Amino acid sequence: MKLKISVLVFGFMLLVLSLAHPVGAVSSVSSDNYQIDWPNLNMGAGLPSAEGVYKLGVTTGQTAPGFYEYTDGYRIRAGFQYIHSIIPFSFSLSPVNLNFGTLSVGVLTNEQTITLTVNSGSAGGYQVKAQENDLLTSNANSTIADTTCDTGDTCDHDTDFGTWTDTSTYGFGYTMTGDDVPSGFSSGTKFRNLADAPGEDPVKVMGKTPAEGHQAGRGKIATMSARINISNIQAAGIYRNILTFIAIPTF
């Protein structure tokens, strides 16, 4: 039996700072229209620019910008940089097509992986959600059901994570490992199935809010391991569906 899952990707990118030339401290600031000999501003903000040279978002006047964390659990992110990020938001995944080839019956090693990479510099965190368009379906309209995980430790698409170690547990599901993945996956030992469209909302597979400890940074990487296990009565055929990933920054 050969199965193929096509992956459709949606992503968002926000560019917040572009410098064609480095900007450094100077003793004076001037143009054809003005000159400031002592460029030490106690309060100010705006979007200064010079055509073809730079664009820069500026705020001044704060005495203690930065990240502060206290033993009682409070975190303070002070400063314009936590809202107007110098790290553009971007999202990518690889590969964009999963080919499971010919499946073996009743084994838990029928797996393929997708690597998700996020650059996130916003103060509000981000999330990546996933959804499938339908069950895995063959040209003859046979289907492979979504897994519900092992008896006694079941899973679903939005609430429960479950163990999948029983070779007689059949279906299609996934687990997540890496940066900013929901803790319920327990480092890849717990599984879920995917929300179906229409009717079920996409569910977060990666991302953190400030309350969850989001830290701005580049190169956040997580891996989705997709698994299919079939019984000996599964109809032969080429099965397909489409996975959609939606990356959402929060500002």
pLDDT of residue 181: 97
Per DSSP, the residues of 183-220 read GGGTTTT-BB-PPBTTTS--EEEE---GGGT---EEEE
Cis preceding-peptide flag for 48 (omega within 30 of 0): no
Q: What is the pLDDT of residue 106?
A: 93
Of the ranges 18-32, 52-66, 147-161, 224-238, which one carries the lowest mean pLDDT score?
Answer: 18-32
Best CATH choice for the domain 2-14+87-249 from the list 3.30.70, 3.40.50, 2.60.40, 1.10.3470: 2.60.40
Domain boundaries, the chain: 2-14+87-249, 18-82
Residue 10 has pLDDT above 60, yes or no: no
Q: pTM, whole model, 2 decimals?
A: 0.70
Residue-wise pLDDT tens digits, 195-244: 999 889 999 999 999 889 888 899 999 999 999 999 999 999 999 999 99
What is the Cα–Cα distance from 235 to 140, expressed in whole angstroms?
9
Residues 203/130, Cβ–Cβ less than 8 Å:
yes
Q: Give the tens place of pLDDT for each residue, 45-95.
A: 566 777 777 776 665 666 677 778 888 778 777 766 566 667 889 999 999
Q: Give the confidence band of 168 by pLDDT, cuts at 50, 70, 90.
A: very high
Cα–Cα dist 222/205, whole Å = 9
Q: Do β-strands 44-46 and 58-60 pair in parallel, antiparallel, or remain unpaired?
A: antiparallel
